[in-house]
Amino acid sequence: MDNRSYWTTSAQAPAQQFTHWRELICEAFLALTPESDLRGGFAGSVTQWRLGGLSLARIESQRQTVHRTEAGVQRDPIRGYYANLQVRGVSLMAQHGRVATLRPGDLAVVDADEPFRFEFGGDFRQLSLFIPAATLNDGEATAPRTATAIDTTTGVGAAVRHSLESLAQRPMREPTAARLALHAAGMLSIALDPSILTAVRSPRSYQTCLDDIEEHLTDHDLSPAATARRLGVSVRTVHGWFSGHGASYGATVRRLRLERAARHLTDPSMRHLRVIDVATEAGFGSVASFHRAFRQQFGHTPSAARG
């Protein structure tokens, strides 16, 4: 996609970086009021892709609180919604008396035409899809339920998550990307259906646990505790599912991440990615550990796999 805009604080003097951040997020999104105690230097960047009547942004920044005030709504009314997918770090979304805590892999929607609050306790990365109100409501009389976490481990929610990740990670022709974004918005409207949001989860099992791991494989905080939280079981139950299958939770995650990296290294469409990029996207925090694990698993280096 070449329909990209990019904003960053990196070119500013440290004392001016947060002031610049306040200006750039209003330019990239809408009238917002961010606050942070990090005034001696502040890192933040926004990459935004225009996708027909929609847009997708990748936001990377630091500790802050962001308000959409009543005055901001009056000054800059926007008839639409932002669907925020947490990629790294933890955030809080509050609107209409509801509060959703988003961890990596979690997704929730906020109404841009009503006041809201975001809180970020540390460094974070989010993907944010803007959807016009008419597209998401699709003739429904009832507005979507905002500030409510959507299950992205299975089903329609997982499909929305994969679509957003694909839009941000893979180069696409603009018409193709716009169609995928519109498709993601349609699936999101289904995922927001109250009958799905309140549905009783199906019985959990070892296979369900594997499905969750694969859905969240690139999360930097993937762990037995995170999987247990999403599946609504105890950490002991998660470990118990693996006890009879020959490999621990940690060994399974490592194997799946290595297999993902190997696929990317041999995919001609991903040759533009450096080995360090492949390692990071696969969920490895250290290139050195990635090289060691890859050689141990496959008997050769990542560079050799690329040929």
Mean pLDDT value of segment 99-128: 94
Three-state secondary structure of the chain: CCCEEEEECCCCCHHHHHHHHHHHHHHHCCCCEEECCCCCCCCCEEEEEEECCEEEEEEEECCEEEEECHHHHHHCCCCEEEEEEEEECCEEEEECCEEEEECCCCEEEEECCCCEEEEECCCEEEEEEEEEHHHHHCCCCCCCCCCCCECCCCHHHHHHHHHHHHHHHCCCCHHHHHHHHHHHHHHHHHHCCHHHHCCCCCCCCHHHHHHHHHHCCCCCCCCHHHHHHHHCCCHHHHHHHHHCCCCCHHHHHHHHHHHHHHHHHCCHHHCCCCHHHHHHHCCCCCHHHHHHHHHHHHCCCHHHHHC
* Complete edge-to-edge strand list for the sheet that includes strand 64-68: 33-35, 64-68, 116-120, 91-95, 98-102
Mean pLDDT value of segment 113-130: 96
What span, in angstroms and rounded, lies between the C-alpha atoms of 106 and 216? 10
What span, in angstroms and rounded, lies between the C-alpha atoms of 51 and 67? 26
- Which amino acid appears at position 94 of this protein? A
Domains of the chain: 4-197 (2.60.120.10), 206-306 (1.10.10.60)
What span, in angstroms and rounded, lies between the C-alpha atoms of 307 and 126? 34
pTM (2 decimals)?
0.67
pLDDT at 198: 44
What span, in angstroms and rounded, lies between the C-alpha atoms of 20 and 11? 10
Mean pLDDT value of segment 247-260: 91
Q: Which of 48-57, 135-144, 161-170, 224-233 has the lowest mean pLDDT?
A: 135-144
Contact 62, 92 (CB under 8 A): no
- At residue 141 the predicted structure's pLDDT band, cuts being 50, 70 and 90, is low
More confident residue, 78 or 305: 78
pLDDT at 246: 78
Residue 55 tokens, joined? 């847009």
CA angle at 243 for the pair 241 and 248, rounded to the nearest 5°: 95
What span, in angstroms and rounded, lies between the C-alpha atoms of 78 and 306? 47
Q: Which residue, 126, 123, 93, 120, is CA-closest to 109?
A: 93
pLDDT at 194: 64
Mean pLDDT value of segment 134-150: 80
The string of pLDDT tens digits covering residues 13-49 is: 999 999 999 999 999 999 999 999 998 999 999 999 9
- At residue 138 the predicted structure's pLDDT band, cuts being 50, 70 and 90, is low
What span, in angstroms and rounded, lies between the C-alpha atoms of 93 and 48? 21
- For residue 40, the tally of other CB atoms under 10 A from its CB is 9
pLDDT at 66: 97
Contact 120, 64 (CB under 8 A): yes
pLDDT at 253: 93
Please state, for a pLDDT cut of 90, what percent of the chain lies above it.
51
pLDDT at 207: 83
pLDDT exceeds cutoff 60 at 199? no
What span, in angstroms and rounded, lies between the C-alpha atoms of 87 and 137? 26
Mean pLDDT value of segment 121-148: 87
- At residue 152 the predicted structure's pLDDT band, cuts being 50, 70 and 90, is confident
Mean pLDDT value of segment 246-262: 90
pLDDT at 107: 94
